[in-house]
Amino acid sequence: MLNLFAALAAWNTPAFNDALKRELESAGPAALSLQQSLSASSYALDDGCTVMVIGVGEEPGLIRARVGVFFHGIIAGCSCADDPTPVEPQQEYVELEVAIDRHSAAATITPTGD
């Protein structure tokens, strides 16, 4: 499970968006469920991603954030000499909902489906 301690510590301060962005960008594709969110490729690359915070809110016990994630994927082919599969990384984008527990900093990340 992903813990977002810096984001939780920065809640209700001007530094929250930057702290959340930094922690999510360093988490990696597996923690952000990027593999399940592919639309133009078949394998999410671990070459970094860019996160933008779309909106944040709070409810009892939780901080909820909606974020957009730009990342790269590739179409995995057979690597044969005559394989027509493009080998260039493909730009991907997904919107995620991040729910941060206000007591433990444990985060639940789910694609929004939009």
Encode pLDDT of 3-48 as tens digits: 999 999 999 999 999 999 999 999 988 899 898 888 888 888 888 8
Measure CA 95 to chain center: 8
Mean pLDDT of the chain, nearest integer: 90
* pLDDT score at 77: 67
Instruction: Give me the mean pLDDT over the 67-84 stretch.
Output: 78
Contact residues for 106 (Cβ-Cβ < 8 A; gap 6+): 1, 2, 3, 100
Residue 85 has pLDDT above 90, yes or no: no
pLDDT > 90: percent of the chain = 64
* pLDDT score at 84: 63
CA-based nearest residue to 22, from 44, 36, 47, 5: 5
